[in-house]
Amino acid sequence: MTKASRERSAASTGERLGVRKTYKLYIGGAFPRSESGRSYEVSTEDGRFLANAALASRKDVRDAVVAARKAQPGWAKATAYNRGQVLYRVAEMLEGRRAQFVAEVGDSGAADPESEVDSAIDRWVWYAGWADKVTAVLGAVNPVAGPYFDFSLPEPTGVVGVLAPQGSALLGLVSVVAPVIATGNTCVVVASTGRPLPAITLAEVLATSDLPGGVVNLLTGSAAELAPWLATHADVNALDLAGVDAEAAVELERAAAQTVKRVLPPASTEPDWTADPGTARLSRFLELKTVWHPMGV
């Protein structure tokens, strides 16, 4: 049945046609279509059509990196307490749209979508609480033999490229993005290729929360196509390969070495994202800066 015939049929029966959602990219706080104009079909595991998602291009990667770089100094200078408040606000808004996320995560093939959404909300709260504690845990006052104070303090790495997990549409994405931005970094995220819809809905939450535009930039499309451009981009400081396989990770690590990026390789098997998040990811994209200060004679 064509679109016109469906409209005539709906008009004759008095039924209302649903408004199809247009899924776009999220770059610099805005929702542009892909520069290439391309899109791809997103379907359920049993083949039911869900939506058309934007198929991001190399130019979209460059635009996202520019937006992330522009936002990074301001986000890094924000107080850790303020960053925690912003992350908690994201959790609040996720809670308010819980039913929508449960439906989309369920369409993405999750066995227990309600548990996954609840875990994703809790994960935002977890990292919100850590935002103003990282410096105390990872920093130190170092003993020195002289009239000096010697402090080691963690600082954000900068712009992080994130290849989101392929098998966890929402919780896996939150688990790799939240620790990156909680510690003052900005990021360019490539969402799960086959399960991108919860990621774009999460971008809508980020856009209407207190998170400054450009802190998180989200692309949908082929991770295999976009990952090399992130790995070789000279203005990307680090790379999280959570969503790629071991063979692809080797090639991406080689590409990233050309610009001396910090790289977090993927686990041998995709982690159980419902497990306790721990604190390991908080330190992955931090640099320790040591400062000497005279204390008098």
| pLDDT tens-place string over residues 213-259 | 999 999 999 999 999 999 999 999 999 999 999 999 999 999 999 99
Band (pLDDT 50/70/90 cuts) for residue 276 is confident
Contact (Cβ atoms closer than 8 angstroms) between residue 26 and residue 207: yes
Residue 221 has a pLDDT of 95
Contact (Cβ atoms closer than 8 angstroms) between residue 211 and residue 18: no
pLDDT at residue 81 greater than cutoff 70: yes
DSSP 184-221: T-EEEEE--SS--HHHHHHHHHHHTSSPPTTSEEEE-S
Residue 229 in tokens: 């451009």
Q: Which of 280, 246, 224, 294 is nearest to 58 (CA)?
A: 224
Residue 72 — φ and ψ, nearest 5°?
Answer: -65, -45
Amino acid at 293: H
Q: Which of 137, 133, 134, 131 is nearest to 84 (CA)?
A: 131
Dist. CA 277–CA 204, nearest whole Å: 24
Q: How far is CA 78 from CA 131, 183, 247, 248, 262, in A?
A: 11, 10, 38, 36, 23
| pLDDT tens-place string over residues 7-56 | 555 556 678 877 778 899 999 999 999 999 999 999 998 889 999 999 99
Q: In the chain, what percentage of residues exceed pLDDT 70?
A: 95
Please give the mean pLDDT across all residues of the chain: 92
Dist. CA 60–CA 6, nearest whole Å: 35
Contact (Cβ atoms closer than 8 angstroms) between residue 144 and residue 110: no
Residue 197 has a pLDDT of 95
If you average pLDDT over residues 196-205, what whole number do you get?
96
- Other CB atoms within 10 A of residue 90 CB: 25
Residue 11 has a pLDDT of 55
Residue 106 has a pLDDT of 95
Residue 4 has a pLDDT of 52
Contact (Cβ atoms closer than 8 angstroms) between residue 120 and residue 171: yes
Residue with more model confidence, 293 or 245: 245
> Among 7-21, 25-39, 136-150, 281-295, which is the least confidently predicted range?
7-21
| pLDDT tens-place string over residues 82-123 | 999 999 999 999 999 999 999 999 999 899 999 999 999 999
Residue 9 has a pLDDT of 56
- Span 22-294 CATH architecture: 3-Layer(aba) Sandwich (3.40)
Residue 13 has a pLDDT of 66
Q: Which of 32, 139, 124, 140 is nearest to 83 (CA)?
A: 124
Residues 6+ apart with CB under 8 A from 245: 266
If you average pLDDT over residues 111-140, what whole number do you get?
95
